[in-house]
Structure 1
Amino acid sequence: MKTYILKREQSLPITLNEAWDFFSSPLNLAKITPKDMSFVVTSDYTADTKMYAGMIITYKISPLLGIKMNWMTEITHVDDKKYFVDEQRFGPYALWHHQHHFKEIDGGVHMTDLLHYAIPYGAIGRFANAVFVKSKVEQIFDYRTKVIEDLFGKYLP
């Protein structure tokens, strides 16, 4: 199984507490996901719900051609205000391991996303990644970068 890696970094002019409060709420994920993916959290959480290790989050999503699918992730690791990890338990990937790291910096917070993913179906999956999956994943993270900057402002060192 071929594993792919995507790493993204972004600094924001907000406090570590503000960043953690926003990103540790499962419902905020819909705010930073492209609208054309029709992303909806189906878990019964409120805006005050904060993630914890072992938390299961379910979604409905349309990642390709408007086809709706179910996706389930588990928050496997949480170190308060430092990092958390979500892993797919059910969904379109053979592997989805997404680390979210937070570090306080002068005048803000620095965030690092490290994603390891794999596509099922061997050679067909590798072809699919080359043709459209890789670019779709990059597009999602590009969108997040822009929306997060729109929400919180541009970091100026």
Structure 2
Amino acid sequence: MLFYQTAFATFRNLTVTSFSNGSIINNMDVAFASTSVPEGTQIGNVLVEAASNITAFNVDLNSIVVNGSLINIPSNSTTAPPTLNTTANASMSTTARTPPTTTIAVVPASPAAVTSEAVTTRRLTFRSAGETFTTDLLNPSSAAFQRRASLITST
């Protein structure tokens, strides 16, 4: 899920851990540098905002869970692309949601720099409604698991 790289400077990686039945329930770990870990709601909201642009698989917005907490989706969220209203209305006002941003300072590494960093992982789960679960998705070594995991991580 490449959009996490854009949203969070401290994003390190996303690892698919399992799939389970219920259409397809996608379970993954999202890792961040421990210096600045986003809140679960921020992680969930980034997926909500990106969902309308994901065409490789479905994201049921009402099923997004981060570290065991269901993400509350604003009633105006949708997976359909937004439409443009060409009618002018001077009394109409709109509010756009802005994804959270994280700023970190980049410091040049010295020759004795440490080559590893501490990371914090958050469990992210969402359901892909309308997609068919097959039992080979239970086996991380299966071709089906590998294809779906690759599809999710490369999106």
TM-score, length-scaled by structure 2: 0.30
| Greater per-residue strand proportion | 1
Q: Bigger relative contact order, structure 1 or 2, given CA contacts below 8 A and separation 6+? A: 2
TM-score, length-scaled by structure 1: 0.30
Larger Rg, first or second structure (1 or 2): 2
| Greater per-residue helix proportion | 1
